[in-house]
Amino acid sequence: MPFSSLAPPLDVELRPDRPALLRVDLRADAASWAAEYREALRAQVTEHGALVVRGLGLRDAGQVGAVFNRLAGPLMTEREAFAPREVHGPGVYASTTWPANQPMCMHHELSYTREVPGLMLFACLTAPEQDGATAVADAEEILQALPTALAERFEREGWMLTRSYNDEIGASLEESFGTDDRAGIERYCRDNGIDFTWQADGSLRTEQRRSAVVRHPVTGRRCWFNQIAFLNEWTLAPEVREYLVDEYGADGLPFNTRYGDGSPIGEDVVQLLNTTYEAHTRREPWQAGDLLLVDNIRTAHSREPFTGERQVLVGMGEPRRLADHHPEASER
């Protein structure tokens, strides 16, 4: 029977230091269950920002893809990736390749693109031996917790992402733009508000300015929505940053972030952002078979360091073009 208002409400556990958790005793196919309870699950994600579903027994990429599609409809194809991903099916990816001993700090997925995912879907096939949570943080709370002057500057100016593509680090041109054809890349950049420069050696450098604060398309609440800290040089491990600066120069880093006016962001500001995120972090250790749904605009997510094997698949759904996401649009 499809989900309706007559179906029993979902019994969700709410805890102050962890994301909302739903335990299910599944006696049917996981994809069929997801289709039946899609609207109820999405309502919980809208209300709480993130929801862990435990008990689905997700085991393989085919099953995960079916569940993702029942919950989100057609999944997005990733564009402008900063690192390569292994593809496990249409719109189903492995977690971004990143050293296990280094954290991926809080961010909103693809917040620098014109079309952003409204919903992130994660499925754990193999839980790590220790740590490795996909933690979450409420973007409304982050915005309220930041110093007023700093938040107002970012809200006024937005933020800038700079990228220098090379053959050694990060995603290739084809992985980022879906093509390695120069004309096709230039067309993509023009269509998506990205300034680009081809260097003498044939490499590509880009800049794009985006809003740091947006209104949630459903609730209308203001959210801190960006990847300012995550993609900034000062979030890198010191030895990694030193190597990259020595290898590519301060202006040639594979990726970096700046204030919207192009001026550099100080190490103290990046540390403040990451400290604020940590103060509002909620984490639930992965168990094999878990599903995690995240409102990508309302909620930031991270990946914590881990030991042992960890296999988490990712999908991006509900593409949205936010009216207030492009500060340059209001200046034309």
pLDDT tens, residue order, the chain (332 aa): 344 444 557 899 999 899 999 999 888 899 999 999 999 999 999 999 999 999 999 999 999 999 999 999 999 999 999 888 899 999 999 998 888 998 999 999 999 999 999 999 999 999 999 999 999 999 999 999 999 999 999 999 999 999 999 888 888 999 999 999 999 999 999 999 999 999 999 999 999 999 999 999 999 999 999 999 999 999 998 999 999 999 999 889 999 999 999 999 999 999 999 999 999 999 999 999 999 999 999 999 999 999 999 999 999 999 999 877 766 544 43
What is the second-level CATH architecture of the domain 141-275? 4-Layer Sandwich (3.60)
Domain residue limits, the chain: 12-98+115-130+283-331, 141-275
Domain 12-98+115-130+283-331: CATH class, spelled out: alpha beta
Please tell me the pTM assigned to this model: 0.93
Domains 12-98+115-130+283-331 and 141-275 share a fold: yes
Three state DSSP letters for the chain: CCCCCCCCCCCEEEECCEEEEEECCCCCCHHHHHHHCHHHHHHHHHHHCEEEEECCCCCCHHHHHHHHHHHHCCCCCCCCCCCCCCEEECCEEECCCCCCCCCEEEECCCCCCCCEEEEEEEEEEECCCEECCCCEEEHHHHHHHCCHHHHHHHHHHCEEEEEECCCCCCCCHHHHHCCCCHHHHHHHHHHCCCEEEECCCCCEEEEEEECCEEECCCCCCEEECCCCCCCCHHHCCHHHHHHHHHHHCCCCCCEEEEECCCCECCHHHHHHHHHHHHHCEECCCCCCCCEEEEECCCEEEEECCEECCCEEEEEEEEEECCCCCCHHHHHC
